[in-house]
Amino acid sequence: MEFTPDLYATAWAVLPPLIAIALALITKEVYSSLFLGVVTGAILYAGADFDGIINHILYDEAGESTYGLISALSDGWNVGILIFLVILGIIVALMNLSGGSKAFGGWALRRVRSRVAAEIATLLLGVVIFVDDYFNCLTVGSVMKPVTDNYRVSRAKLAYIIDATAAPVCIIAPVSSWAAAVSSFADEGQGISLFIKCIPYNFYAIFTLAMMIALILMKFDYATMAKFEMNAVENGDLFTVVDENAATVDAADAGSDNGIVADLVFPVVVLVVSCVLGMVYTGGFFDGARFIDAFSDSNASIGLSMGGLVALVIIIAYYMIRRTISFKDCMGCIPEGMKAMVSPILVLTLAWTLKSMTDSLGLADFVSGLVENMGGGVFRIIPAVLFLIACVLAFASGTSWGTFGILIPLGLAITEAHPELSTTIIAACMAGAVYGDHCSPISDTTIMASAGASCNHVSHVSTQLPYATTVAAVSVVSYLLAGFTGGWVIPLIVGIVLLIAVLFFFKSREGSYKIPESANASEAAAK
């Protein structure tokens, strides 16, 4: 029989992630903050039992569930993601050594002639790579760093653009690992159709893309991001807060002068195709399933690992045939790529362990109880309420997919009584989960965006949070309207108009930073 702590499914379950988040923002140091959050969770679970605390931190087999660091590192899904990250690190190291990244950067610099164009190009590349958010974060960062560096775009701003085209794009792309995740929580045969119906109601994702475009075209930044952008433009300091791992990655990015654009484009195309095929393979596509159904039933962890491994072999063969890199140097990229991923892997491991602490304390059941108590005359505001609950849950737990699993089934149950709001309610659950995944410091996508941009993780979180929260606030208004109108057109139009008005307000306030025209000059940024 599984042990149930006295504080199970109470408000105390929120404390461990809150401590981790608060400490990370205060101390600017993420490793100890996450670990102290884990320790807090273990203490709340085991009480004064010292042995129980240590066991819960490391490995605690309670009934059918396991918790702790060892459990996080032995979970099949997690291991698959870690393997994929290591493979990505190796491929990036190969592209850098071949000079492919440098060649593409030079090619892009000859065609990208302004700071605005550099940011728009980064945004477009992020939208194009919609298959998976992990792949998006690391690939876009590696490819676009030379271009954005040249126009003195801060690494914090680059990380924001990367992160904002990861989860928010995946959640409105029917062919993505996220579509597969959402579909798995719906009734059999309804998953993809439900996902597609929710796309125009996913206001947070749509407004995030609109906000990025508006900020780039309006040439200003506000809140914490303003300080980072001003420092980058006026002082040539792309980091403001330097990350040691970022410096190591950037040093490796120098690469050869003999590379060509194809040395980057070919590996990226091979990786995209291999990952898509790997995912549909795990979903039964080659056994006769339809492509969309195969994507819905795919295992993203195994599929991405499989696709990444096949791509790695092809890419190494390509470089050897081209005689760009010797076999010995290719093998030398394996430990280099792994070293580049050590920091994000460590943060991911601690974040997964922290999530297991909240699971053992019944955070999901606590939130479920709050949602199930809703009803009566408030059903018109249920989409907005569910959106906010999803925001808080995903931000505190650092997982959007976990939030999908908690709230989407509840949303489907609610829609049985109010079928006219079914699409709006499910979309609100999805959108709120994306907010948490987008900006929580313990979210794996947020961690990957920091790694992709070679940006200090806490710098990324502190600069992105005001932007993401602005979009979330506007989204609440749109979900309130959607609850009363039942449609998406009016809430979407009102939301975009309101968002633009809010941005003009922030631009007029003291403390915002207007990007000077001189920043469009093409000059190498000081590092």
115 in any annotated domain: yes
What's the pLDDT score for residue 271?
84
User: Dihedral angle at the C-alpha atoms of 178, 179, 180, 181, nearest 10 degrees?
Assistant: 50
Question: pLDDT tens digits, residue range 122-148?
Answer: 999 888 877 667 767 877 887 788 889
Domain that holds residue 292: 76-181+245-343
What's the pLDDT score for residue 66?
84
Q: In the beta sheet, which residues pair with residue 513?
A: 221
433 in any annotated domain: no
Residue 463 has pLDDT above 80, yes or no: yes
Q: Are 309 and 290 in contact (CB under 8 A)?
A: no
85 in any annotated domain: yes
Alpha helices, DSSP H only, in 68-114?
Answer: 69-74, 76-98, 100-111
92 in any annotated domain: yes
CA distances to 253, 271, 336 from 97, in Å: 8, 17, 11
Q: In the beta sheet, which residues pair with residue 61?
A: 66
278 in any annotated domain: yes
CA 342 centroid distance within chain:
18
- φ, ψ for residue 62 (rounded to 5)? -115, 105
pTM of this structure: 0.74
227 in any annotated domain: no
Residues 39-72: b if buried by 16+ CB within 10 A, e if exposed: bbbbbbbbeeeeebbebbbebbebeeebbbbebb
3-state SS of the chain: helix, strand, coil percent to 5?
75, 0, 20
For 420, residues 6+ apart whose C-beta sits below 8 A from its C-beta are 486
Query: What is the helix (H) or strand (E) element at residue 513, kind and residue range?
Result: strand 513-514
Number of domains in the chain: 1
525 in any annotated domain: no
Q: Are 116 and 216 in contact (CB under 8 A)?
A: yes
176 in any annotated domain: yes
Q: Helices 327-340 and 244-252 sit at what angle, rounded to 10 degrees?
A: 160
Question: pLDDT tens digits, residue range 149-198?
Answer: 989 999 999 999 999 998 898 888 876 656 655 665 565 445 567 788 89
Range in 55-59, 286-290, 395-399 with the lowest mean pLDDT:
395-399
